Amino acid sequence: MRRVGFDFPNTCPRIDKQIDGAKSVMYRFLESLLEEACPPLSPETLQRLASENADNLYRDLEVCFESVRSTNEEMRNEADRQICDLHDRLTDLEAEVARLEREVA
């Protein structure tokens, strides 16, 4: 019997890649902002502050990213459920058609 369910590749790796991309964007943005606001900062201090603040910002936003991940999982589960329900309904209708064809014959 063939598998019945949502036929689409797992999206978690794509979501993870985008989250990592967001982390990089936050770091670059903060680094640029600090560089413009505080030109006398040494490169080491600039990198440290940008990194610390990007990490803090990510921690504050992490619940948003995890919500996207869990919503994605919920959608996949619901798609699987709906497809299984439709498959069951199709199987029932095929059986009904076969029964009716036997009655007519």
Whether 7 maps to a domain, the answer reads no
Whether 97 maps to a domain, the answer reads yes
Whether 77 maps to a domain, the answer reads yes
Give yes or no for residue 1 having a pLDDT over 70.
Answer: no
Distances from the Cα of 61 to the Cαs of 23, 28, 88, in angstroms? 10, 16, 41
Whether 4 maps to a domain, the answer reads no
* Total count of domains within the chain: 1
Whether 1 maps to a domain, the answer reads no
Q: Indicate the SS3 state at residue 9.
A: coil
Whether 6 maps to a domain, the answer reads no
Whether 5 maps to a domain, the answer reads no
Q: What is the pLDDT of residues 52-69, one digit of tens each?
A: 999 999 999 999 999 999
pLDDT of 18: 93
Which residues form the domain of 68? 12-104
